Amino acid sequence: MTTDSLALDHVLGTYWSHFVEIGGAGFRVSYTLVMVDPDAPNPSSPTLREYLHWMVTDIPATTDASFVITRRSQIATISGREIVRYESPQPAMGIHRLAFVLYQQHSRQMAFVPLMRENFCTSNFAHQHNLGSPVAAAYFNCQRESGSGGRRFRQAKWDSEGPFKPLHLLNPSRISFIRSTLCRHFRRDPYSARPLEGLKIIDVGCGGGILSESTDNHEIPVVKTMSCKPLARLGAAVTGIDAVEKNIKIARIHAASDPLTASIEYCCTTAEELVRLNKQFDATIALEVIEHVADPSDFCRSLGALTAPGGATVISTINRTLRAYATAIVTAEHILNWLPKGTHEWSKFLTPEELVMILRRASFSVEEMAGFFYDPLTGEWSLSDDISVNYIAFGVKQAF
C-alpha cells in the first residue's frame, strides 16, 4: 500500500473491531484519522453536521505490515492515540454517509480533544492543526435496520404494495409519456406491438429494473395496455445501469424469469464510466434520479454524451415548490410512509426552468413536458398539465 491509501473493514460479532491499514515509509510518519457523519441527524435537515464519531491521532505508518486499530469488549488495543472514543452510528432516519478522512501529521501529539461531537468541522480542524489536505478518504452508507430481513428487502422493489409502491403506481403514466414521445420523435407507429423495435435505450439509475422490465397485469382496453408496457416489452434493446450492485442483482433475477425481458443488459456502473467507454444510445432515460445526484449539470452532460446526435432523453423529477415539499416529503415520507424518511432533500429539487436550462447546456432542446396527477379515489396516476410537483420532460439532442 502507498501512503495515500486507506483500507477499512468492520467485523460484527461478540467481539468487534475496526481495522485501519495505512502503508507508508516507516514509524516516523504519523497520521490522524477522523470519522464523521455529514448527514446527522437526518439528510433532509443535517443540523448537527458534521457529527464526530471517532478520532485517532499519532497512527504510525508501516513499511510492510499493517497497524490495526481495534477495540475488543472493554479492552482497547490501539496503535495510535484515540482522543475521541468511537461511537457507533445509529441513524434514526434516512441514508447517512459515514466518512473516514486521513491526514498526515507534521509532528506527534499535536491534536487537542474537540469540545463537542456535534457540529464538528473537519476542514477547520485540519486548518487549526496545520494538517493540510487529506491524503486519503473513504466512506460508506448507513441506515437504520428495518428488521425485515434480507430476503424481504430484495423483493421490496417488486412488491406493488411495498415501500416502493409509488414507483409502481407512477410507472404506467411514465411509460405512456415515454412511448408517445419516442414514437413521435422516431416516427414509429404507436399502435404496433413493438413500436420501439431496433432502438437502443439506456435506463440510467434503473434501481431494481421497475421501468426497464416491469409487468403489466391490468385487464384494460388494448390501447391503454399497450401504452403501459415497459421498454423491453415495447421492443427496445434496453440497457439498465445502477451504481448499487444489489439493485443490479435484483433486476437480473427478475429479468431472467421472463423470456421477453431476458435480453436486457444490466450493468453495475455509472453514466460517467460509459461516457469514457464512448457508448451511445438512441435514447437516455433517467427517472427520479437527477434530484439525488451531486451535480445535475454534470449528470446531464453525461446523458448528452451518451445520447447519439438526433437522439432523445426523458427525465422525470420533482419541482422545488412548497406544494412539492408538502407532497413528496411530508406526505409521502412522513404520513403515508410510501418512501423511507430522508429519501428526498427539498433543496435538491429542480424547477422546470432550471432543468430546461441545464439540458440546453448539455445540447438538448426540451420539446415537451407534463406533470402527474394522483387520484386518491382510484389510487392511480395520470398525465397532467400541472407540473407543480412531479413532472417529466422530453428533450432532443442536436443533430450535428
Give dist(CA 130, CA 101) in Å, integer: 15
Entry pTM: 0.58
Give dist(CA 311, CA 281) in Å, integer: 8
Residue 287 counted as an annotated binding residue:
yes
Q: Closest Cα partner for 211 from 287, 140, 276, 283?
A: 287
Q: Closest Cα partner for 396 from 240, 210, 187?
A: 187
State which of 61-75, 260-274, 300-314 shows the largest mean pLDDT.
Answer: 300-314
For the segment(s) 6-143, the CATH number from 3.20.20.60, 3.90.280.10, 3.30.70.1290, 3.40.50.300 is 3.90.280.10
Of 44-48, 233-237, 325-329, the one with minimum mean pLDDT is: 44-48
Residues with Cβ < 8 Å from 5, sequence gap 6 or more?
21, 22, 23, 136
Residue 368 counted as an annotated binding residue:
no
- Per-residue pLDDT, averaged over 290-312, amounts to 96
- Reported as a single tens digit per residue, the pLDDT across 229-258 is 378 888 999 999 988 887 788 777 777 766
User: Helix, strand or coil for residue 123?
Assistant: helix
- In terms of CATH, what superfamily is 164-212+219-397? Vaccinia Virus protein VP39 (3.40.50.150)
296-301 long-range Cβ contacts below 8 angstroms, 24+ apart: 296/350, 296/354, 296/355, 296/358, 297/358, 297/361, 297/362, 298/272, 299/271, 300/358, 300/359, 300/361, 300/362, 300/364, 301/361, 301/362
pLDDT surpasses 60 at 183? yes
Residue 174 counted as an annotated binding residue:
yes
- Reported as a single tens digit per residue, the pLDDT across 118-129 is 889 999 899 888
User: Helix, strand or coil for residue 226?
Assistant: helix
Tell me the pLDDT band of 367, cut-offs 50, 70 and 90.
Answer: very high
Residue 291 counted as an annotated binding residue:
yes
Phi-psi map region of 205: left, alpha, beta (phi>0 left; psi -120 to 50 alpha) = left
Give dist(CA 292, CA 56) in Å, integer: 32
Residue 127 counted as an annotated binding residue:
no
Query: For residue 45, what are the β-bridge partners?
Result: 42
Query: For residue 140, what are the β-bridge partners?
Result: 98
Task: Map out the domains of the chain as residue ranges.
Answer: 6-143, 164-212+219-397
Residue 85 counted as an annotated binding residue:
no
Give dist(CA 88, CA 91) in Å, integer: 10
Residue 50 counted as an annotated binding residue:
no
**Alpha-carbon torsion angle 100, 106, 110, 112, nearest 10:** -30
